Structure 1
């Protein structure tokens, strides 16, 4: 199935009442992954923007809330006046050290992660959450960290993570080479 058809199927699926029930298959958390070829990123972004604008007109009985994880990280760094410091720190210490520093400052590995707090505070009860920007923030933010921390604290509405790579309900493969084989409590939204 081509990407346009998969996006159409995804859009139909999320507006079904059964999709918005409090738990997923086998009483798992209601977390989903929509995977797509990384080279189709702009097409996926356009569809999400279209869906968000359409939803804001108030025709749907559910609110579509989109969180770009990369934008959340950049906003945090700018608010703390850390962004320029991060550039210098990366030059001196390398990507691995800056990744660790950003993760620590945002409490990425903690249950009270600033990303989880933000999502929880900015999501209504009657919502569907879209997580985007996964590819843009790699390796600073890993998708399994977001899903694992989020499902500990946020189960009141469905979450769909848009992943630029391949997901087979066991592992995520980013850019056809970087395998993230951590356990995921999420289901593939469209086959």
Structure 2
């Protein structure tokens, strides 16, 4: 049983051993469920989370023996790259300043369709070519990317490759609460990486 009073730092220290374990990488013990995992953290710890990813987790994954193939996808950067590739970024910034957020969201519905984003992710980082896929930038990408919708769109595309989303907020095993405030009223099934 996990102590519910663990500190953020204690939980951080459990990430690396967990995601490099054979059980995690081979989806063992999940009862035939898809290996989608969420590491939730307090939104106010965003900078510490980024630092831990950059200075501890990614360097350790790069040095892991046997070699571990992984893709780290920053969802915010994915959106920016997509808009730049379609020569829309400057237009979107102008539209947001002139007409507001609602007009931007309406204009980008087709471009940022979560099914299309899921397809883009798997075309850039083929699940069969990696042992693990990691998502960051969830808070920065909101509301252009909706976590539960994107994860649902990725379910049929990831095959047996585990996916780990770093999530600034709460996940109770059923629904995601971004920034501990915004609740998706959708049931979503993933596993908590560190309770």
Query: Is TM more than 0.5 here?
Result: yes
RMSD: 1.9
Q: 1:28 to 1:58 in 2, by over 3 A?
A: closer
* Shift >6 Å, 4+ stretches: none
d(CA) in 2 for partners of 1:47, 1:60: 22
Give the number of aligned pairs: 188
8 Å CA contact 1:35, 1:163 repeated in 2:
yes
Q: 1:152 to 1:103 in 2, by over 3 A?
A: farther
1:37-186 → structure 2 map (5 Å cutoff)? 37-50=42-55, 51-57=57-63, 59-108=65-114, 110=115, 113-123=116-126, 124-186=128-190
Structure 1 unaligned segments of length 5 or more: list them: none
SS at match of 2:31: helix
Which of residues 11, 21, 25 is equivalent to 1:16? Answer: 21
8 Å CA contact 1:120, 1:154 repeated in 2:
no
Structure 1 range deviating more: 31-40 or 173-182? 173-182
TM-score by length of 2: 0.87
| Alpha-carbon distance, 1:54 to partner | 2.7
8 Å CA contact 2:112, 2:144 repeated in 1:
no
Which of residues 2, 5, 10 is equivalent to 2:7? Answer: 2
8 Å CA contact 1:23, 1:29 repeated in 2:
no
SS at match of 1:97: helix
d(CA) in 2 for partners of 1:170, 1:10: 21
Structure 1 range deviating more: 130-139 or 170-179? 170-179
d(CA) in 1 for partners of 2:82, 2:111: 9
| Alpha-carbon distance, 1:24 to partner | 6.1
8 Å CA contact 2:36, 2:164 repeated in 1:
yes
| Alpha-carbon distance, 1:99 to partner | 2.0
TM-score by length of 1: 0.89
d(CA) in 1 for partners of 2:65, 2:117: 32
